[in-house]
Structure 1
Amino acid sequence: MSLADKIFIDMCQDILDNGVSTEGEKVRPHWEDGTSAYTIKKFGVVNRYDLSKEFPAITLRKTAIKSCTDEMLWIWQLKSNNVNDLHSHVWDEWADETGSIGKAYGYQMGVKHKYKEGMFDQVDRVIYDLKNNPFSRRIMTNIYVHQDLSEMHLYPCAYSMTFNVTQKKGDDKLTLNAILNQRSQDILAANNWNVCQYAVLMHMLAQVCDMRVGELVHVIADAHIYDRHIPIIKELIQRPTYDAPTFWLNPDVKDFYEFTRNDVRLDNYVTGPQIQDIPIAI
């Protein structure tokens, strides 16, 4: 069993056994038929993934590595808020007639801010600090910008990354670690998708900054399983598990802005069958 499988199974079982229900409460999310979408939830879930040991793709079902990488690059590299720049259609329901999702996600990453060294957007500032001041405790991003919330079609779920660099004794290279903060997560639909895309981001940043990858710590304030997902989750966590896949990242790419979704691959990725047509609360 991969570590990612164990973390996922234990987290889901804990939510099912010890979570609290929102049934009967006033909730915002609803299903396509208009029915309220209730959840079983746990507060303050923290999962740790050591990327130096394995890539955290679960094997219970397949996580589409190129698609989740494409979404991450849409936000972090293209800094786009238009779904027409994506290869997948996961954001379509939040887009307007032009394809825009408002001042959300990639839009915020592209906003330039004034620093003593000059003007940087959040991505370029992270890369600058990792290369020039790696032991800074201020290397972070935040896309939950209150003044723009009214112009976002969806409030950011995964909203902040905090990077922290360490150096292991006897190692000539630095190690890149990070914390992903998420205010809310649909565990079935999004958990491993988010974990994998931010693990890819860390691998990419480590490569262009000549570092090793270390720990990804995922902090979820509201970790929930939707009512219509409960039987799916119960079946999923009973499935056989397999060894973690091997992650490949194109070693020739040294500039973050040159990566594409085709520069990543999972080798020896054996999984259970995919779950089709997962109902998504909106």
Structure 2
Amino acid sequence: MTVNEQQYLDLCQHVLAKGHRKSDRTGTGTMSVFGYQMRFDLQEGFPLLTTKKINFNLIASELIWFLRGDTNIRYLLENNNNIWNEWAFKRWVESASYRGPDMTDFGRRQLVDDSFKAAYQAAMTRFKEQILTDDQFAAEFGDLGPVYGKQWRHWETSRGETIDQLSDVIASLKTSPDSRRHLVTAWNPEDIPSNMALPPCHALFQFYVADGKLSCQLYQRSADIFLGVPFNIASYALLTHLMAKEVGLEVGEFIHTLGDAHIYSNHETQVNEQLRRQMYELPTLKINEQLGSIFDVELADLKIEGYQSHPPIKAPIAV
């Protein structure tokens, strides 16, 4: 049994047993707890869940997108990654430029109305094609505003300057490994109200060096346990591996601290199905030894070996 994956399954069981019924922004409803922490020993294996299949390429391409400071979904679509589509699509269908069927509340309506689902899928297909082929359309509707990549790499100050937080942390890890200031934040109060398609859920992370190992702690203000958290665990584990390689250290722990940790009411059946499954051994991450900089990483530089899992479990996303 892997202690790492059990941390996640224990979280699911805790929220189902102890959670509070709450309303939420999406209108879906959740079971929620406030304040929870998981610790993953990255020496044990790469924490890609085995009780349901997780697509590593989606996680890796999204992280590469962040590392490049990119905020436009075109790169993601070019790599067959659709995990940010709904937020960009929402901006388009709510704009004056949109001409087509009413897409109000499309996230929920597609689940209960087959005729609407067909219209939604046709509109989404058209949207994606235009993002990939029309530069002007992509610039206007593919960009999500100053989300993670922008804040990590190009934080804008009140003086009109920019701060590359991630590069600064890499430099401080190399020169002052015992510093308590190895932090990167995506939570920019000035940008959130009007510019971001979605305020950052994984809001702040900090690195720590001890015994020749690099550890990372993430504070996640809002945690969609079934759909989002498995991706967040693997994404920040991957980031820790890449940062450790960059600064010449081994990997230590990934510590995941959650604020509002919730299971959506329309995910409870899926969570219970996952809890009935047995775990497999965790896989291993392999990073191209010839990789120079973390900022030059490509999908081909990252491979998961020995990954055995149960089939995926589908669930609707709340937008």
Q: Give the TM-score taking structure 1 as reference length.
A: 0.89
Letter in 2 for 1:46: Q
How far does the alpha carbon of each residue in 1:137-173 deviate from its partner, in whole angstroms, 9 at most, with x for none? 1010011000111211100000111111112xxxxxx
The residue aligned with 2:154 is 111
Equivalent residues in 2 for 1:47-86, closer than 5 Å:
47-75=38-66, 77-86=67-76
- Candidates 217, 236, 249, aligned match of 1:179: 217
Is the Cα contact below 8 Å between 1:67 and 1:261 reproduced in 2?
Answer: no
> C-alpha displacement at 1:79, in angstroms?
0.5
- Aligned equivalents of 1:16, 1:146: Cα separation in 2: 32
Is the Cα contact below 8 Å between 1:66 and 1:262 reproduced in 2?
Answer: no
> C-alpha displacement at 1:45, in angstroms?
0.9
Q: Give the TM-score taking structure 2 as reference length.
A: 0.79
Distance 1:131 1:113, change over 3 A: farther
- Aligned equivalents of 2:254, 2:143: Cα separation in 1: 30
In the alignment of these two chains, the number of paired residues is 262
For structure 2, the residue ranges without an aligned partner over 5 or more in a row are: 92-139
Identical aligned residues as a percent = 32
> C-alpha displacement at 1:112, in angstroms?
5.2
> C-alpha displacement at 1:261, in angstroms?
1.9
For structure 1, the residue ranges without an aligned partner over 5 or more in a row are: 30-35, 168-173
Letter in 1 for 2:25: R
- SS in structure 1 at match of 2:271: helix
The residue aligned with 1:171 is none
- Aligned equivalents of 1:247, 1:60: Cα separation in 2: 18
Larger helix share, 1 or 2 = 2
Distance 1:281 1:120, change over 3 A: closer
- Aligned equivalents of 1:68, 1:60: Cα separation in 2: 17
Is the Cα contact below 8 Å between 2:154 and 2:164 reproduced in 1?
Answer: yes
How far does the alpha carbon of each residue in 1:74-131 deviate from its partner, in whole angstroms, 9 at most, with x for none? 11x21011111212111112124430111221111222579xxx97411110111111
- Candidates 254, 273, 277, aligned match of 2:311: 273
> C-alpha displacement at 1:3, in angstroms?
2.1
> C-alpha displacement at 1:73, in angstroms?
1.4
Is the Cα contact below 8 Å between 2:287 and 2:301 reproduced in 1?
Answer: yes
Equivalent residues in 2 for 1:7-46, closer than 5 Å:
7-22=7-22, 25=23, 27-29=24-26, 36-46=27-37
1:99 aligns with 2:99: no
How far does the alpha carbon of each residue in 1:16-64 deviate from its partner, in whole angstroms, 9 at most, with x for none? 1111111xx4x311xxxxxx21000111110001112221111101111
Could you say which structure has the larger radius of gyration? 2
The residue aligned with 1:32 is none
Is the Cα contact below 8 Å between 1:3 and 1:56 reproduced in 2?
Answer: no
- SS in structure 1 at match of 2:312: coil
1:90 aligns with 2:89: no
- Aligned equivalents of 1:47, 1:274: Cα separation in 2: 23
